[in-house]
Amino acid sequence: GAGVSQSPSNKVTEKGKDVELRCDPISGHTALYWYRQRLGQGLEFLIYFQGNSAPDKSGLPSDRFSAERTGESVSTLTIQRTQQEDSAVYLCASSSQLRETQYFGPGTRLLVL
Amino acid sequence: AQSVTQLGSHVSVSEGALVLLRCNYSSSVPPYLFWYVQYPNQGLQLLLKYTSAATLVKGINGFEAEFKKSETSFHLTKPSAHMSDAAEYFCAVSPRGGSEKLVFGKGTKLTVNP
């Protein structure tokens, strides 16, 4: 594909509901990253995947957050029992391999009411 | 552990004036350093990166940054601001040889006045 794509672009949900955010990386990119950007803050690392290696989940803020990736393709970030503090822009990035430039998608703007 | 401090959450310059956005980092190992730009409602775009080659790094859109180890700084500059440079700028660090996750500063919003 031309770039990293994410869906939905905007999501409004009620507190307590589960949400799924999708990321399509650039074709052929083996590394995929999720970040969270809260209003007025920098990006916080959440998780990254590299090929078939175990993902680095060290940035996930709680056990309500999880992510999956099938092979070297699509990734889904799931937030269970959403809370208002989960409201943020969730950004996905991919790179051709680790230590290479990360290319970012446009993000999913999540609002939890 | 790595951290990034961007001095000034908002910077305002006149069109044609020098742009200087400050970034200081902390890293226990030699770092890779990055500047990203984010236009409204868009994802981040890489401006430039330092990966241990020349300390003066040139990027897109006329931006450049200089890695100064003694000052632990990686300030972003552009000699002459253009209206289209108005955006938010993020400095980021990642350690070499370790985890590849980027640690970002809180960002600096640049306003360019006509």
Q: In this predicted model, what pLDDT tens digit does every residue of B57-110 receive, in sequence order?
A: 999 999 999 999 899 999 999 999 999 999 999 999 986 654 478 889 999 999
Model confidence pLDDT, tens digit, residues A11-59? 999 999 999 999 999 998 988 999 999 987 888 999 999 888 889 899 9
pLDDT value of position A51? 83
Model confidence pLDDT, tens digit, residues B23-32? 999 887 778 8
DSSP-derived secondary structure letter, A17: -
| Higher-pLDDT residue of A1, B45 | B45
Which residue in the block uniquely carries the two structure tokens 């208002």? A84
Residues of chain A with C-beta less than 8 angstroms from the C-beta of B99: 56, 58
Does residue A55 belong to the interface with chain B, where contact is any CB pair within 8 Å? no
List b or e across B77-110, with b for residues whose CB sees 16 or more CB atoms inside 10 angstroms: ebeebeeebbbbbbbbbbbeeeebbbbbbebbbb
Q: What residues in chain B have their Cβ under 8 A from chain A's Cβ atoms?
A: 4, 6, 9, 32, 36, 41-46, 49, 90, 92, 96, 99-107
Residues of chain A with C-beta less than 8 angstroms from the C-beta of B25: none
C-beta atoms of A42 and B32 within 8 A:
no
DSSP-derived secondary structure letter, A85: G
8 A C-beta contact, residue A113 and residue A45: no
The mean pLDDT of chain A is 91
Which of B49, B101, B103 is facing A101, going by the closest CB pair? B49
Instruction: For residue A65, count other CB atoms closer than 10 A to its CB.
Output: 18
